[in-house]
């Protein structure tokens, strides 16, 4: 079983073909299912756009619920890894830069593990605001309170210090909420998800990720918030 697919210098984690008992798989599943659950509770969503969709696991969950999904990613290779699934579930795939997308009629926009890679992430939040209808839903997920300096390496070509997976920003709850509000949204709720103790435990004892394990993870994040891997903000467009 090969968990990764090579794309130039990039190693893409292929959740569709991954070992289901690894910590990384449990991490990915917990994050996607938590976000899916939040969207399910957010009222009637008929169509949604996913910016930086990656290999499309969350999109497949949404499409199976009857939601019309548009999946956007810069990586053609990532899109190709779920092309057949997208065709089967009628997911529209777009291989394009966010700023080149001229659509504005979605009920919701979601973006996970994207903002931390963007130098001007607030302009991306504004652009995503323009993709949704008035009072449309936004759901944004980023690594939580990441110690960027601890993950710096020396780039072999430039000799400069860079983050090993290209992260430019670290987010606290306050920082992300302020940015979201400045970008034309009102915050509905912020929440921590995917506790590092949870996915290690689930991988060690081969515990499946389901509603019960999501509840365990929510409890772990309330008890050990400093161990949370991600922060998400659910919000609504107000301008």
Q: Which residue has the higher pLDDT, 158 or 22?
A: 22
Bridge-partner residues for 72, per DSSP? 51, 94
Query: What percent of the chain lies above the pLDDT cut of 70?
Result: 100
CA dihedral of residues 121, 126, 132, 135 (deg, nearest 10): 110
At which residue do the structure tokens 């008035």 appear?
A: 134
Q: Which two tokens stand for residue 132?
A: 């949704």
At residue 44, the pLDDT reads 92
pLDDT bin (cut points 50, 70, 90) of residue 223 is very high
What is the CATH number for 91?
Answer: 3.40.50.150
Give exposure, 154-184, as e/b (b: 16+ Cβ within 10 Å): eeeeeeeeebeeebebbbebeebbebbeebb
d(CA 30, CA 192): 12
d(CA 133, CA 125): 14
d(CA 172, CA 193): 13
> What does each C-alpha distance from 83 to 25, 44, 48, 78, 116 come to in angstroms?
21, 27, 18, 9, 26
Residue 156 has pLDDT above 90, yes or no: no
Q: Considering the entire predicted model, what is its pTM?
A: 0.95
d(CA 170, CA 90): 35
Q: With H, G, I as helix, E, B as strand and everything else as coil, classify residue 88.
A: helix
Q: How many domains is the chain built from?
A: 1
Q: Which residue has the higher pLDDT, 226 or 8?
A: 226
At residue 158, the pLDDT reads 78
Residue 1 has pLDDT above 70, yes or no: no
The whole domain housing 43 covers 4-237
d(CA 150, CA 169): 13
Residue 157 has pLDDT above 80, yes or no: no
Residue 67: closest CA among 85, 49, 94, 81: 49
């Amino acid at each position: 079983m090969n968990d990764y697919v090579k794309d130039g210098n990039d190693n893409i984690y292929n959740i569709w073909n991954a070992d289901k008992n690894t910590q990384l798989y449990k991490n990915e599943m917990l994050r996607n299912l938590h976000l899916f659950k939040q969207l399910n509770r957010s009222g009637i969503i008929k169509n949604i756009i996913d910016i930086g969709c990656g290999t499309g696991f969350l999109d497949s969950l949404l499409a199976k619920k009857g939601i019309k999904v548009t999946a956007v990613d810069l990586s053609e290779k990532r899109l190709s890894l779920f092309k057949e699934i997208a065709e089967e579930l009628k997911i529209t795939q777009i291989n394009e830069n966010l700023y080149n997308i001229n659509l504005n009629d979605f009920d919701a926009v979601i973006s996970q593990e994207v903002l931390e890679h963007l130098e001007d992430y607030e302009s991306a939040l504004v652009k995503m605001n323009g993709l949704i209808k008035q009072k449309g839903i936004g759901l944004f997920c980023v690594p939580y309170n990441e110690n960027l300096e601890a993950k710096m390496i020396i780039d072999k070509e430039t000799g400069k210090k860079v983050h090993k997976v290209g992260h430019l920003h670290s987010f606290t709850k306050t920082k992300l909420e302020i940015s979201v509000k400045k970008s034309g949204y009102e915050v509905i709720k912020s929440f921590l998800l995917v506790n590092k103790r949870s996915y290690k435990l689930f991988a060690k004892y081969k515990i499946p990720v389901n509603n019960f394990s999501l509840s365990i993870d929510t409890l772990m994040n309330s008890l050990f918030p400093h161990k949370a891997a991600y922060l998400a903000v659910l919000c609504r467009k107000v301008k």
